[in-house]
Amino acid sequence: MYADRILKHVESAYPQQVEFRQAVAEMLHALSPLLRKEPKYEKYAILERLVEPDRQVFFKVVWADDKGKVQVNRGWRVQFNNALGPYKGGLRFHPSANASIIKFLGFEQIFKNALTTLNIGGAKGGSDFDPKGKSEAEIMRFCQAYMDELHRYIGALKDVPAGDIGVGAREIGYLFGRYKKLVDGFEGALTGKNLDWGGSLVRKEATGYGAVYFAQEMLGARKEGLEGKVCSVSGSGNVAIYTIEKLWQVGAIPVTVSDSKGMIYDKEGINLDLLKEIKEVRKGRIEDYAKNKKSAIYTPTKDYKAGTNGVWGVPCFAAFPSATQNELSELDAKTLLQNGCKCVVEGANMPSTAEAVQAFLKAKICYGPSKAANAGGVAVSGLEMAQNASLHTWSFEVVDQKLHTIMQDIFTNSSQTAAEFKDPTNLVLGANIAGFRKVAQAMIDQGY
Ligand code: NDP
């Protein structure tokens, strides 16, 4: 079969790219019923063309630390597909970043961006640079050196990077400042900018708010809701913080946060002001949360049960994995289900392993895959591009309303597509087919 042939090709061509192969396998598995019905995709070699990026650049980033010692990091930008619009996708600065992780993120981004209904293509980039423990001046110098290479490949109508793990408003500021100098022009070639110089209201909140809006849609379709419900959130970065903010706003009780060193369980609910103070102002670690809040228990990662993430051992009605890929194992999925979890909404990209996804689908709980559930971030980035192009700034309410509508539309499109293929609760199938159909048709329309 077509999908099997392509998967075999990817497995033999990229044996070491584990995350990329995982993302492709999930996608191809979900597309199988469509590919069986529609021979045109094979005729036009759409899968062959989608699993190879249009281009990928791999460069070195040379910068000097505060002691004057020269440091060298690796940088990537993978431009996957621009059938629907300029390439678009974040930059990740994290020591674990590698070609496989950047490629899986770029591949997913194609279909996620298609689901937003906006005209944006898919890309991703990053570096193995670790911003943790670096001085402000070191971060600035690194960002400048990174942009010295990247600026050749990006532009407001060409490729528009944004943030991701390790890249927030501060890093976008330094990247943008350097870009502006190098091209001698002020153009919206990056999103996630500061509000005073081209950023959009709600961009910071968008992914977290969007994930909660998506949860409300899934639950609403089953006549359920989040009010009064205990929720578990992993991570403590941008996505986690604004998921927690929106959960409180809709009357839910978020009780956990985590980072790579450990987790917090606060039975009274996570104090948002304290969390923001520690993470956004002090740029500290969540261990400090427990030092400032009596009801909180801190568990270091080394004390987690083997093969599990401690966050998912806390009984909850809804889980919001919002840290990183493969942070929720099959064992975690089983524990969540045994403890009565009815809803899993992926704020992070591909946070559940393939086996965990199968467990959620089998249990027929509300499961919102990342491609659909965390599309709010890139959607508001798309709205930032629209505001930059028109030299207008929209109010918080206007952008938030647009975000809300986009998330509702993504749910409707994904669930209607799932129903069309006789598996109405399977949003993995629905989101993948809906996103793929749009991109594939654009590729067919535009020729090869
Ligand atoms: P941040 O850098 O703001 O926060 C990342 C959080 O995840 C931190 O708490 C970090 O802990 C934790 N984390 C990162 N890597 C690991 C790891 N290997 N093990 C355990 N914990 C880890 O990133 P974001 O909040 O922006 O991104 C989180 C996820 O959401 C990512 O998967 C990203 O791709 C996805 N996403 C983000 C969007 C956005 O708009 N920002 C949009 C769509 C998806 P520590 O500080 O210890 O590293």
Residue ranges per structural domain of the chain: 54-184, 206-373
User: In this prediction, what percent of the chain has a pLDDT beyond 90?
Assistant: 100
Query: In this predicted structure, what is the pLDDT of residue 95?
Result: 97
Query: In this predicted structure, what is the pLDDT of residue 192?
Result: 97
Rounded to whole angstroms, the Cα distance separating 265 from 229 reads: 15
Residue of 124, 193, 279, 342 marked active site: 124
Same fold, 54-184 and 206-373: yes
Indicate the length of the chain as a whole number. Answer: 448
**Is residue 334 flagged as an active site residue?**
no
Structure tokens at 261: 């060193």
Query: In this predicted structure, what is the pLDDT of residue 216?
Result: 98
Which parts of 166-304 are beta strand (E)? 230-233, 253-254, 256-259, 262-266, 296-300
Do 57 and 76 meet the contact criterion of CB atoms below 8 Å apart?
yes
Q: Indicate the average pLDDT of the chain.
A: 97
pLDDT digit string, tens, across residues 255-272: 999 999 999 999 999 999
If we measure between CA atoms, which residue out of 343, 345, 266 comes closest to residue 299?
266
Instruction: State which ligand 1 atom lies nearest to the alpha carbon of 206.
Output: 40
Query: In this predicted structure, what is the pLDDT of residue 401?
Result: 98
Query: In this predicted structure, what is the pLDDT of residue 410?
Result: 98
Rounded to whole angstroms, the Cα distance separating 433 from 281 reads: 41
Ligand 1 surroundings by CB, under 6 angstroms:
96, 163-166, 207, 235-240, 259-261, 322-324, 347-349, 374, 377
Mean pLDDT of 160-176: 97
Query: In this predicted structure, what is the pLDDT of residue 335?
Result: 98
Query: In this predicted structure, what is the pLDDT of residue 374?
Result: 98
pLDDT digit string, tens, across residues 209-236: 999 999 999 999 999 999 999 999 999 9
pLDDT digit string, tens, across residues 122-152: 999 999 999 999 999 999 999 999 999 999 9
Instruction: State which ligand 1 atom lies nearest to the alpha carbon of 325.
Output: 32
pLDDT digit string, tens, across residues 308-346: 999 999 999 999 999 999 999 999 999 999 999 999 999
Q: Looking at domain 206-373, does it have CATH number 3.30.565.10?
A: no
User: Could you tell which of 260, 263, 287 is best to mutate to test the pocket of ligand 1, judged by most ligand atoms within 8 Å of the CB?
Assistant: 260
* Residue 112 pLDDT class (50, 70, 90 cuts): very high
If we measure between CA atoms, which residue out of 73, 170, 85 comes closest to residue 126?
73
Query: In this predicted structure, what is the pLDDT of residue 74?
Result: 98
Rounded to whole angstroms, the Cα distance separating 10 from 205 reads: 36
pLDDT digit string, tens, across residues 336-394: 999 999 999 999 999 999 999 999 999 999 999 999 999 999 999 999 999 999 999 99
Rounded to whole angstroms, the Cα distance separating 263 from 297 reads: 8
User: In this prediction, what percent of the chain has a pLDDT beyond 70?
Assistant: 100
CATH topology for the 54-184 domain = Rossmann fold (3.40.50)
Atom 19, ligand 1: residue with shortest CA distance: 260
Mean pLDDT of 62-90: 98
Residue 151: phi and psi, rounded to 5, are: -60, -25
Which parts of 34-187 are beta strand (E)? 55-64, 70-81, 87-93, 122-127, 159-162
Do 349 and 326 meet the contact criterion of CB atoms below 8 Å apart?
no
